[in-house]
């Protein structure tokens, strides 16, 4: 009998981006009451848990990943009472709630950073961050968002910010920082949250000598899976932090979890974050980044399962989130297209129909894999990236900091369409939306898809039900000869990447298919089928 405390091993976890999920008061910005009001939708979809991107007080220079107070709710999103109501209502509906924790950096408006600026060089307040003296930046590190990772204060010291200038990195060698985050964990655990998604989990500890590193700035830091990690990522010291957090979580009932956002390679190194005394899960970004080819997918699936099995952790799967181009658009580019830092009107545009077709096939493949899957809000509607957003609306700091070389991530963060014919497509009561919604989005609205056979929403809902019924999250992968096909328990999963239709084995009974089969009952190109044998 599976313990309830182990719910996360096969959970489907849905990411809500609070700014863009649902707006209850018509100011064009999503909010917590908006989310609470729409939770029944997630229950109906059939997910197990909801991960909320940050809703804490924040100047919003990085859409809330710049936290000014870890124990509050930004007035844009509501108040602590609204958070309590959201958690209670989710639990009533049988949904778990995971909140986002941002421990690598605070906002520059956090009381600690303000105190550090006021107290000056050499003060204990500055010891909570990474300040250094010098006429030049202390080293060659680049910010993930572009430009130097060092900013000078008026008194001449420099502080480190691996992200925006408004996101100073904390000094995790300082015991006070460690104590503070243990207290923050308890604060939210006491309010009933079921876990934490840990932002930039591979970044907290820096190489002691702040050794130079000249590779181009990316969150991956120019990772060479064979070589040593870059001096700002994946340092050995991060692990004892997560061990101490795990001890706190284990004092609470019901299975509270930690999930690492760690851009770490190879899979065996990432698996070190999910050893039995550390975190529970880590996002599988190599899977998200795998090309749409049978060889790439088979090898990332095998490597991920092997690495996680070796430490007894579930493998996770993900195709979209708030930092990447939505997979319905990403997959509409030719195979081999490198990772895109956003798309604008002047850039090559994806083939929308091909992208959606492949996205549906990719999702059905993902949801058949054993372990835990992450969905990003709107993908259940087949939502594409906004690929023609006028640049004047862009808010992602990467756009400015990269000198407009990167369009940034706004295109995947556009408020959701709920009702085709309502103002802001039902995102809120007013015709207001903090990022513009494309004029073509009525067709993606939830009310155009519910109860409509073959719609993307019905595909997701049916897949989640079958996944549960057949225990796919607890199963395994047994590859079959021939086409790209595997068995998971009593379900055969076939994805056709080739040009010719693929026949199913005799006696196979189709349970679900990402697109209709051809007239001869064969699987067409770019289609995934689940069949019972």
Between CA 414 and CA 394 the distance in angstroms is 11
| Residue 109 beta carbon to ligand GLC: minimum distance, rounded to whole angstroms | 15
| Residue 58 beta carbon to ligand GLC: minimum distance, rounded to whole angstroms | 11
Closest CA to 281 of 317, 245, 321: 317
Q: Which is nearer to ligand GLC, 20 or 456 (CB)?
A: 20
Q: Which is nearer to ligand GLC, 199 or 234 (CB)?
A: 199
Q: Are the C-beta atoms of 106 and 170 separated by less than 8 Å?
A: yes
Q: How far is CA 349 from the centre of its chain?
A: 24
Report the residue number whose CB is nearest to ligand GLC.
65
Dihedral sign computed on CA atoms, order 499, 504, 505, 511: positive
Between CA 263 and CA 238 the distance in angstroms is 13
Q: Which pairs with CB-CB distance under 8 Å and at least 24 residues apart come from 142-150?
A: 142/216, 142/217, 143/217, 143/401, 144/217, 144/218, 144/219, 144/398, 145/217, 145/397, 145/398, 145/401, 145/402, 146/217, 146/398, 146/401, 146/402, 146/403, 146/405, 146/406, 147/401, 149/217, 149/232
Closest CA to 474 of 359, 373, 360, 376: 373
| Residue 270 beta carbon to ligand GLC: minimum distance, rounded to whole angstroms | 15
Between CA 335 and CA 354 the distance in angstroms is 12
Label the pairing between strands 527-532 and 509-513. antiparallel
Of the residues 199, 385, 396, 410, only one is catalytic, namely: 199
| Residue found under tokens 């001096």 | 231
SS3 sequence of 376-391: ECCHHHCCCCCCCCCH
Strand partners, 512: 530
| Residue 65 beta carbon to ligand GLC: minimum distance, rounded to whole angstroms | 3
Binding site for ligand GLC (CB under 6 A): 62, 65, 102, 163, 199-200, 219, 261, 322-323
Check residue 425 and give left, alpha or beta (phi > 0: left; psi -120 to 50: alpha): left
**Any idea what the Cα angle at residue 124 is, between residues 118 and 128, rounded to 5°?**
90
Of the residues 100, 261, 379, 380, only one is catalytic, namely: 261
| Residue found under tokens 């243990």 | 182
The H or E element containing residue 457 is: helix 456-469
Annotated catalytic residue 261: yes
Q: Which is nearer to ligand GLC, 69 or 447 (CB)?
A: 69
Annotated catalytic residue 199: yes
Q: How far is CA 117 from the centre of its chain?
A: 33
| Residue 319 beta carbon to ligand GLC: minimum distance, rounded to whole angstroms | 15
Q: Point out the residues that are catalytic.
A: 199, 261
């Amino acid at each position: 009998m599976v313990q309830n405390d182990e719910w996360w091993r096969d959970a489907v976890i849905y990411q809500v981006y609070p700014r863009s999920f649902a707006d209850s008061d018509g100011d064009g910005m999503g909010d917590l009451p908006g989310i609470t009001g729409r939770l029944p939708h997630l229950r109906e979809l059939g997910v197990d848990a909801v991960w909320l991107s940050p809703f804490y007080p924040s100047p919003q220079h990085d859409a809330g990943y710049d936290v000014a107070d870890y124990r509050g709710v930004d007035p844009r999103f509501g108040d602590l009472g609204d958070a309590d109501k959201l958690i209670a209502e989710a639990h009533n509906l049988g949904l778990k709630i995971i909140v986002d924790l941002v421990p690598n950096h605070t906002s520059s408006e956090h009381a600690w950073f303000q105190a550090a600026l006021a107290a000056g060089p050499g003060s204990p307040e500055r010891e909570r961050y990474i300040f250094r003296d010098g006429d030049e930046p202390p080293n060659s590190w680049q910010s993930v968002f572009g430009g130097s990772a060092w900013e000078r204060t008026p008194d001449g010291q420099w502080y480190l910010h691996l992200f925006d200038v408004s996101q100073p990195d904390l000094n995790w060698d300082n015991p006070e920082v460690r104590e503070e985050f243990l207290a923050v964990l308890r604060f939210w655990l006491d309010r009933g949250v079921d876990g934490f998604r840990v932002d930039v989990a591979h970044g907290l500890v820096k190489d002691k000598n702040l050794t130079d590193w000249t590779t181009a700035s990316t969150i991956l830091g120019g990772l060479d899976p064979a070589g040593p990690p870059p001096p700002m990522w994946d340092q050995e010291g991060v692990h004892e932090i997560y061990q101490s957090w795990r001890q706190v979580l284990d004092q609470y009932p019901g299975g509270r979890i930690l999930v690492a956002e760690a851009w770490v390679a190879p899979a065996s190194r990432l698996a070190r974050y999910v050893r039995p005394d550390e975190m529970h899960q880590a996002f599988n970004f190599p899977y998200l980044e795998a090309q749409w080819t049978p060889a790439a997918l088979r090898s990332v699936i095998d490597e991920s399962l092997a690495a996680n099995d070796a430490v007894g952790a579930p493998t996770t799967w993900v195709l979209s989130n708030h930092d990447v181009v939505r997979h319905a658009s990403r997959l509409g580019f030719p195979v081999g297209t490198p990772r895109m830092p956003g798309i604008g009107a002047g850039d090559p545009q994806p083939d929308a129909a091909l992208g959606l077709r492949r996205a549906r096939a990719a999702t059905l493949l993902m949801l058949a894999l054993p372990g835990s899957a992450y969905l990003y809000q709107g993908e259940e509607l087949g939502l594409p990236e906004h690929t023609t957003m006028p640049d004047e609306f862009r808010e992602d700091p990467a756009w400015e900091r990269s000198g407009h070389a990167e369009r940034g991530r706004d295109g995947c963060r556009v408020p959701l369409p709920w009702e085709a014919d309502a103002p802001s497509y039902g995102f809120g009561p007013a015709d207001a939306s903090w990022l513009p919604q494309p004029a073509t989005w009525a067709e993606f609205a939830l009310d155009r898809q519910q109860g409509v056979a073959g719609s993307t929403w019905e595909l997701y809902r049916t897949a989640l039900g079958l996944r549960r019924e057949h225990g796919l999250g607890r199963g395994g992968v047994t590859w079959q000869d021939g086409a790209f096909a595997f068995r998971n328990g009593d379900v055969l999963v076939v994805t056709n990447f080739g040009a010719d239709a693929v026949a199913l084995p005799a006696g196979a009974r189709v349970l679900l298919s990402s697109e209709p089969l051809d007239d001869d009952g064969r699987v067409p190109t770019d289609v995934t089928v689940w069949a019972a044998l």
